Chains A and B, each alone.
Chain A
Amino acid sequence: MKEFFTVAVLVGIAHSGIRLAAPYLFASLGEMVGQLSGVLNLGVDGIMLMGAFAAFYVVFMTGNLWLGLLAALIVGALMGLLMAVISVTMGAEQGISGIGLYLFGLGLSSLLFKTMIGSVESVSGFSTLRIPVLSELPIIGPIFFDHSVVVYLAYLMVPVSWYLINRTTLGLKIRAAGQNPEAADSLGVSVNGVRYITVIYGSAMAGIAGAALSIGLLNVFQENMTNGLGFIAVALVYFGGWRPFGILGGALLFSTVNALQLWAQVLGLPIPSDLAVMLPYVLTIIALAFAVRQVRQPAALTKPFERGE
């Protein structure tokens, strides 16, 4: 057993935690926008799988990473369109249709993978982009400025999402659609139009989250490779209290504890592995129960909107 709390190990944990949080950020921040407008989309994991496959396939065939990212965005948006038609226009029960969308994405991505690729392959994904000067800083540099491009993009989405929600007219309409759709409607806001936009946007982000895995962090595609990551992303929206920086905190807490337990195992700390892998989940639940102040969810969440009299 070696020294655990050395600078090198702590830097390693922080670095890992930041990287691990990236896919959650894309997916959660997108899901948050949808929920703020009143639509709960539980299909995130399936959309991520479709995005992961689309990005991987395009990169596998063309080698163009940005084209791959675009493909994930488009495929995610299409999945979102499907979700919007089912849950907004047709007013289907959101929880059920989300699970349906998840199974659809899981099955379709597996089928496409089998027919179009067939075996597990790897691609050269986004490589690490060391930010000049900043990455030279002691401690701070290796933790924050030595990541893949997709990781920077994920963190950029935090202030962007905050700005969108709190400082734009669209953000105001989104929140109105989720809090009081009748009032929003009487003021001339197209509630269902706004919900279409948010669900499609959120799903496109979930597609990017999948791409962040398949062409950013892992550079492989495997059936069901998200392994339920999308559901954690939905939970993080609640954890973060529907606020971008709350979600950032939740994602970082979960990921950093995960990184911590990996390091603890690698360095041979005498903790049973079964206990170690539970740690991120247990701590997140504890934090959720005690530390996070109660935030009310959007009043019209999961409620389809129909124009009354």
Chain B
Amino acid sequence: MQKRTIWLLALISVLILVIAGCAAPAAAPAAPAAESGGEAAAPAGEPFKVAIVMPSTITDLAWSQAMYDGLVAVQEEMGGESAMEIAYSESMFNVADAAAAIRDYANDGYNLIIAHGTQYGNSMFEVATDFPETSFAWGTAVDTGKDKGYENVFAYEANAQEGGYVNGVIAALLDESGVVGVVGPVEAGDAKLYIDGFATGAKATNPDIAVNISYTGSFGDTALAAEAANTHISAGADVLTGSAQQVVGAIGVAKEAGVLWLGTQSDQSSLAPDIVVANQVYDWTGSIKDMIAKIQAGELGGTVYTLTLENDGLKIVFNDGYATPDEVKAAADEAIQGIIDGSITPLAE
């Protein structure tokens, strides 16, 4: 028993070295080496190898998890590990570490390397210059470097304002106090789009509503996000929303206070089934599948993917645990249709 414990501890320490070693890309879904040893037997030969470098974790219930879930869904569809391998590096808040990881993956012969953060753009383009045979993707971004001669870079973005608008409509209809609150991360990127869309949707539904917005200045400051939620509640808000992985802190507070929550990026219902009403979910499977198909056909980049409600990249997912009134669901559907047919512009002006 004693010996086993010591052996276990030693094993754990080694694993930690792998994880804390940061720059060293961790091999993906607990894929034991034994299993991938069977890859030689795979009929189609080499599996398609995808690597992703992300700023937070695959369990963040937000930005990174949305992409990881998409990759896993595509993997299942393609026929599992023998057809597609996924490797990932988490918590790459340090861009220099991310750059090293991107280069390592390129050296290791990955077919597609996803730099899952706007901040990784420069580093990724540098590596993309040295590895013209490897495909890269980054987001949120719209620049594939085509005008600079790059042919191996994809870009992707999310029209987060669309689901933001729908969430805003839902929030305004469920709100009773006349105040809704937004726990924002950094005033940029898809978070800002989402929040602007949310405010537009809420105001369009109830012109008198007060949409209080605060930013924590970070994506991962869970404690400050929780305090921001407390502040919104003290200021009278009875429906909250927010963006980035830090919102789990805010959801914890909302749950305790019995205040409603609207999610974005991933489905956050599981965290607080009583108070989460609906989520805008980023579904990247369509984009990933198209990238893989293009790469296999020899087209290594050049396309910009945009998630929208129309192309099903954005989905409004209601939480079954919360009894959303039918008229609210109907109004949400109406907003979705309006955005798709163009009669509603989710961003003011």
Contacts and interface: CB of A to CB of B under 8 A. Distances in A.
Interface of A: 12, 15-16, 19-20, 23, 103-104, 106-108, 110-111, 113-114, 118-122, 125, 127, 213, 217-220, 222-227, 229, 258-259, 262-263, 265-268, 272-274, 276-278
Please list the 10 inter-chain residue pairs (A to B) with the smallest Cβ-Cβ separation, ordered nearest first.
A277-B217, A107-B20, A265-B214, A273-B215, A107-B16, A219-B252, A220-B252, A12-B234, A225-B222, A107-B19
B57 A110 contact: yes
Given A222-B222, A259-B227, A277-B215, A110 B187 contact: no
A283 to B, nearest CB: 15
Nearest to B61: A120
A222 B60 contact: yes
B214 A19 contact: no
A128 to B, nearest CB: 9
A265 B215 contact: yes
A10 B9 CA distance: 50
B19 A110 contact: yes
B341 to A, nearest CB: 33
- The majority secondary structure among interface residues of chain A is helix
B224 interface: yes
A220 B245 CA distance: 12
B231 A263 contact: yes
B187 A273 contact: yes
28 contacts: A15-B234, A20-B227, A107-B19, A108-B12, A108-B16, A110-B19, A110-B90, A111-B19, A113-B59, A122-B251, A125-B256, A127-B256, A217-B226, A218-B226, A220-B252, A222-B249, A223-B59, A223-B91, A225-B222, A227-B218, A227-B220, A227-B223, A262-B214, A262-B228, A266-B214, A266-B231, A267-B235, A273-B214
Contacts of A103: 20
B315 interface: no
B249 A106 contact: no
Contacts of A258: 224, 227
A272 B252 CA distance: 27
B26 to A, nearest CB: 10
Interface size class of B (residues with CB under 8 A): 35 or more
B223 A229 contact: yes
B209 interface: no
B308 interface: no
Quick one: which of A104, A220, A259, A273 has the most chain B CB within 10 A?
Answer: A220
A224 to B, nearest CB: 6
Interface string B227-259: 110111011000000000110110111011000
Contact of A273 (B56, B217, B252, B256): B217
A120 B272 CA distance: 10
B287 interface: no
B57 A223 contact: yes
Contacts of A265: 213-215, 228
Given A107-B20, A267-B212, A262 B227 contact: yes
Contacts of A217: 223, 226
A103 B221 CA distance: 18
A266 B232 contact: yes
A277 to B, nearest CB: 3
Given A227-B220, A277-B215, A119 B61 contact: yes
A220 B246 CA distance: 11
A122 B247 CA distance: 12
B84 to A, nearest CB: 21
Nearest to B57: A223
Given A120-B59, A265-B215, A265-B228, 8 more contacts: A12-B231, A104-B16, A107-B19, A223-B91, A224-B91, A227-B223, A262-B231, A274-B215
B201 interface: no
Contacts of A114: 59
Nearest to B18: A107
A148 to B, nearest CB: 10
B5 interface: no
A19 B227 contact: yes
Given A108-B12, A219-B256, A220-B271, A120 B235 contact: no
Given A104-B16, A219-B256, A266-B235, A274 B222 contact: no
A166 to B, nearest CB: 31
B271 A120 contact: yes
B271 A226 contact: no
Contacts of B256: 125, 127, 219
B20 A104 contact: yes
Contacts of B2: none
A31 B124 CA distance: 41
Nearest to A119: B59
A266 B180 CA distance: 10
B248 A259 contact: no
Contact of B231 (A108, A226, A259): A259
B168 interface: no
A267 B59 CA distance: 32
B252 A226 contact: no
A218 B15 CA distance: 28
B249 A277 contact: no
Given A12-B231, A12-B235, A223-B91, A274 B251 contact: no
A12 B235 CA distance: 8
B343 interface: no
Interface in B251-298: 251-253, 255-256, 270-272
Contacts of B252: 122, 218-220
Contacts of A227: 218, 220-223, 246
B91 A16 contact: no
A258 B225 CA distance: 11
A220 B215 contact: no
B216 interface: yes
